[in-house]
Amino acid sequence: MLQAMSTGHDGSLATVHANNAEDALMRLQTLASMSEVEIPFEALHDQINSAVDVIVQLTRHADGTRKITEIAVLDSHGRDPYRIVTVARFNGQPMASDGRIHGHFQYLPLPRKIADRLYMASQPIPQAFGIAESAEHLAIREAN
């Protein structure tokens, strides 16, 4: 799966059972290391960083519904430690009198790298998100 996702074709989709975005990456790394092909840990880490863009976490709630509870992007590359940035989070309320879980999404700024990729693909960035300042921009602003 990782090899297929890393071939340069945009648009792969895979399911991994995990409790959150960070656990999903660890689970993916563990599953990949269990294959019959021995791949060094560093190479797996590099492959995951280059293959995975977005992690969508679904959670089964007490009312039996499944809802998207987190959308995170992987903002690391190469052999960097995984840098997971949550860009949307479902803030659920306790079960209502109608027996359902209600709530709303909180949208957070997109990392600059993701915003640039959307721009280059002629995709608009929804206003609800905005764009986070990169570390370079923050350093320049703090220096001035």
Hey, how many other C-beta atoms are within 10 angstroms of the C-beta on 15? Answer: 8
88 and 121 inside one domain:
no
86 and 44 inside one domain:
yes
Dist CA 67 CA 90 (whole Å): 8
Q: Mean pLDDT throughout 125-141?
A: 71
Q: Are 129 and 108 in contact (CB under 8 A)?
A: yes
Q: Are 60 and 74 in contact (CB under 8 A)?
A: no
Q: Mean pLDDT throughout 132-143?
A: 59
Has residue 16 got a pLDDT over 60?
A: yes
Dist CA 50 CA 138 (whole Å): 25
For residue 143, the enclosing domain spans 109-144
pLDDT band at 139 (very low <50, low <70, confident <90, very high): low
30 and 74 inside one domain:
yes
142 and 79 inside one domain:
no
**What was the pLDDT predicted at 50?**
84
Mean pLDDT of the chain: 85
Total structural domains in the chain?
2
> pLDDT tens-digit profile of 29-61?
888 888 777 777 788 888 888 888 899 999 999
